Structure 1
């Protein structure tokens, strides 16, 4: 479905971010969230199967169904992860101009 579409590990990502001069401020593993998202997508594909076949071939619909189901299982088993990385460019004196407490937590 996605040739060469492997997910890069969070260690490599944060290293690359830091090497580029940015400061990592927050990292969140979205593995469980993405598993739930894939469950919803799989359920929707099953529920709207006939409509999907009006848009794409049966082969393509099956490939996507298998891909999403397999990906969901891999996320549930912690075989793959997906991270959200938040980074900022520090100012000239090292200030990050980022609140000490995340506003989404207040």
Structure 2
């Protein structure tokens, strides 16, 4: 993703870095610890490998995600949140998660939370 040069405020910049359907979900999953590509695919319903790789690449370019490659056969790669930006963005996503939970509860959709086994983190 090409970054714009001019922003109204820093929030606009961060929004552009993590916007989209999958980036916040990828980051949220990585809060649980490092994961291989196949594990991320398995844990994130409906994401394609192509989309996952594209978003991981962008998140790495922005400094939210890092990658460890373990040589050998088969080659093993794990993605993880970086200590600086990656771990910090989780605080913002945690707030967004809680807002979503409260919204669903207030709108009579608590059953969806139960079915998805969602509990406040």
Q: Normalising to structure 1: TM-score of the pair?
A: 0.31
Q: Normalising to structure 2: TM-score of the pair?
A: 0.29
- Structure ranking higher on relative contact order (CA contacts 8 Å, 6+ apart): 1
Query: Whose radius of gyration is greater, 1 or 2?
Result: 1
